[in-house]
Amino acid sequence: MAGLAVMAATAWAAAPGDAASPLAPPSPPSPPSPPAAMVAPAGPTATASSPRADTRYVILAVEDRGEPLSGAGGSPRGDYRRMAGYAGSARASALSEALAREYRLHEEAAWTIAPLNLRCMLFALSGDDDVDALLARVRGDARVKLAQPLNEFETLAGGPQGVEAAMRPGASSASSGASTKPSAASASSAAAAAAPLSATSGSPYNDPYFGLQKGFQQMSAAALQQVSVGARVKVAVIDTGVDARHPDLSGQVARQRDYVSGGGALVEGVPERHGTEVMGLIAARANNRQGIVGLAPGAVITSYRACWTEARVERPGPGTARCNSFTLAQALGAAIADGADVINLSLGGPSDPLLTRLARHAQARGAVLVAAAPPERLGKGFPSEVPGALVVASAGDASEAEADGWLVAPGRAVLTTVPNGGYDMDTGSSLAAAHVTGVVALLRAADPVADAPRLRRALLGSMSATGGINACAAARTLGVSGLRCDGDTAATAAR
């Protein structure tokens, strides 16, 4: 959706270039500058108006059984070119140099994925060499353990303008009880954030836009939040940057790392739309008299910026967000090293051997991978084709989801957070996946031994005739006690 729906009442100091009025619609985030850690300026971080040089890059990997470095696992801690020795053992480094000479390649970056015993190199091709021809030759080289193109991925939200039912908050405020100007967030302690939420008169929440969160209500999430808010569950959101200063996200994002332009450095935040939307659905503070309610407000959530926003050239509005194998591999490796329990990937693209290996390793360590279902134009690829991943389609696409055994969650006209303290509706399987990630965090907090297969069976079994998952019913299937699911009171009265 193009415009900002509602701005928070809290006034923010205008940053350079910001609109003077806190009620003005925010401009889409500017495309990021090329990474200092060397991805060529017109390469992996190309903007919509730049030459698409991505196809001139390949990723190769060789065996590296050298000593693992601090923070290894594919998660760099700064500019590669300033980090002597980070890229692995001397033997693997020498092998990389030999491959570069023999195949006329130029190494742009290298990093070690210690758990996979691999040294990965991002190479630029020379002259008029063809990517497919080069890969065919390299794949026959016994020294090379993996060879693939630098693939591109995109986030899966951003419905067409005028998407059905995409009403603005405030348009129906009389019936919903929502205010067009929520009051400023009240302070809350960390202990309160980690405690199950108790109901108040008339509604379980005092957040003014809760009445517009139809998907939250359809999933019976409030009933499950009476016993779990996701406390201590580590959630990794691999996406664009997040506006962590948003009043509904203040204090909710444990850390943010930037793999697009920061080399994995800790940052205060890069306020981009897609990541902020996903984060709001998972983590927005509850009962703070502000905005909306997140599904797992007690979870420990880290943002890994691996995607960047491109300027929209065909029509005004939020830009498309893109990622590539290079940025995603670093972010996914870092999430593994950080011990993520749940990994949200609201994106899609082609098959990718390196990313699939990393995803499978994360699963082997107990992480639950939640993936957005790809639209038909993209077809199946990463991450939707990773075995064992919880693939999530938007409600309304249930026929395709049923055929593929996918989960279904709300993904149309979903109200969530957007940068600069605002709220808006958006559509896409990205949002459906975020809903499931939040529910999975609640379930894993309530039942820490529930693994991905059990969670998938419970969530599939909870899906209603309309196609959506039911958080409370899934928890009951897992044996979570103390639940009062929607309809229990009516059923008791009927008996």
pLDDT of 26 higher than 50: no
> What pLDDT band is residue 488 in, cutting at 50, 70 and 90?
low
SS3 139: coil
Higher pLDDT, 115 or 364: 364
- Report helix, strand or coil for 148: strand
Q: Which residue has the higher pLDDT, 454 or 16?
A: 454
- Is the sign of the CA dihedral 440, 446, 452, 457 positive or negative? negative
Give the lowest-confidence range in 108-117, 227-236, 342-351: 108-117
Marked catalytic residue, from 176, 303, 430, 462: 430
Q: What is the structure's pLDDT at 177?
A: 31
Distance, in Å, from the CA atom of 28 to the CA atom of 7, rounded to the nearest integer, reads 15
The reported pLDDT for the residue numbered 359 is 98
Mean pLDDT (whole number) for 147-166: 72
Query: Which of 216, 189, 310, 249 lies closest to 8 in space, CA to CA?
Result: 249
Rounded average pLDDT over 255-276: 93
CA 242 to chain centre: 10
Residue 253: pLDDT above 70? yes
pLDDT tens digit sequence for 190-226 = 334 445 655 444 688 999 999 999 999 999 999 999 9
pLDDT at residue 377, as a whole number: 83
Cross-strand bridge partners of residue 51: none
How many C-beta atoms lie closer than 10 Å to residue 160's C-beta? 11
Of the ranges 59-73, 170-184, 264-278, the best mean pLDDT one: 264-278
Question: What values do phi and psi take at 273, rounded to 5?
Answer: -70, -55
Give the integer Cα–Cα distance in Å for 335 and 344.
Answer: 10
**Predicted local confidence at residue 486, as pLDDT:** 78
- Options 75, 258, 274, 462, the catalytic residue: 274
- pLDDT at residue number 398: 60
How would you write 263-300 as a 3-class SS string?
A: CCEECCCCCCHHHHHHHHHHHCCCCCCCCCCCCCCCCE
* DSSP-assigned letter for residue 146: E
* Number of neighbours of residue 492 by Cβ within 10 angstroms: 9
Q: How far apart are CA 191 and CA 183, in angstroms?
A: 22
Active site (annotated) includes residue 106: no
**C-alpha span between 412 and 405 (Å, rounded):** 20
Q: How many CB atoms lie within 10 A of CB 104?
A: 12
Please say if the pLDDT value at position 230 is more than 80. yes
Helix or strand (DSSP H, E) at 424: strand 422-426
DSSP bridge pairs for 149: 58
Structure tokens at 371: 């993936």
Question: Which among 54, 64, 207, 239 is annotated as catalytic?
Answer: 239
CA separation for the pair 237, 246 (Å, rounded): 17
Helix (H) or strand (E) holding 459: helix 452-462
218 in the Ramachandran plot: left (φ > 0), alpha (ψ -120 to 50) or beta? alpha
Q: In this predicted model, what pLDDT tens digit does every residue of 401-420 receive, in sequence order?
A: 776 889 999 999 999 999 99
Burial bucket for residue 342 (CB in 10 Å: 0-12, 13-18, 19+): buried
Residue 261 appears among annotated catalytic residues: no
Q: Give the C-alpha separation, 233 to 18, whole Å.
A: 35
CB neighbours of residue 316 within 10 Å: 10
Burial of 448 (0-12, 13-18, 19+ CB in 10 A): exposed
**435 a catalytic residue:** no
What pLDDT score was predicted for residue 89? 85
Identify the helix (H) or strand (E) that includes residue 93. helix 90-102
Task: Provide CB contacts within 8 A for 455, sequence distance 6+.
Answer: 368, 390, 440, 443, 444, 474, 478
What letter does residue 489 receive in the DSSP assignment? Answer: H
